[in-house]
Homo-oligomer: A and B are copies of this chain.
């Protein structure tokens, strides 16, 4: 169930049976020479949509722009400052809370969002904590690429060529979703470098084509299809466990 494709009376009905919702969250940023700029939004979006279909979970529209300041030296990358993203997540959660949603499951495609999303959760909980009351909200961030099945499959498929940005796994998954956009390409060097980084210029100096530690020449639609299925199963399991916590 996609929230955008429901009417409000349908949501009223849904709330009588569930207080949970999945909110895909990603980023719009460079993903190396042949990766799609929307990779980190597309991955959680397509998996969440399928999860929603299979188990009747409601899925919010994707928060497509994330905390990606370090990618701004590559054309096309968009970024929200952390304090902006905190405000966005706060407003979305508080909107949902007005309606009676209590379990908000952010399904994430971008490592750069993790810290800020957790800071946002704490900012939201602070309202109740400083008021001495009980907010009653359950907030979780789950990364599609961290699911157990996905991690095992990535290791099996790509081993040490997975890297951490513009990975063959995520690029495969986007090609599964948009096969017409599959652009197999050799990489030079085959494996991108690994390093710590700070701001955008520092990032680009260290990772000239945008990749970190990965070899996306290994990506394929077939791998993407297997990763998609693995992630859907991981996520159904994890989301249902989240709801079951009460």
Contact = CB atoms under 8 A, between A and B. Distances in A.
B129 A73 contact: yes
A210 interface: yes
A65 B95 CA distance: 11
A245 interface: yes
B36 A4 contact: yes
A199 B138 CA distance: 9
Interface size on A, as a range, is: 35 or more
Contacts of A200: 98, 125, 128-129, 132
A123 interface: yes
Interface in A173-197: 178, 181, 183, 196
Interface stretch (A112-120, A156-164, A217-225, A228-236): A112-120
Interface string A141-170: 000000000000000000000000000000
B11 A201 contact: no
B11 A76 contact: yes
A82 interface: yes
Contact of A67 (B3, B99, B122): B122
Contact of A98 (B67, B88, B132, B138): B132
A243 interface: no
Nearest to A126: B69
Interface in A55-107: 60-65, 67, 69-70, 72-84, 86-88, 90-92, 94-96, 98-100
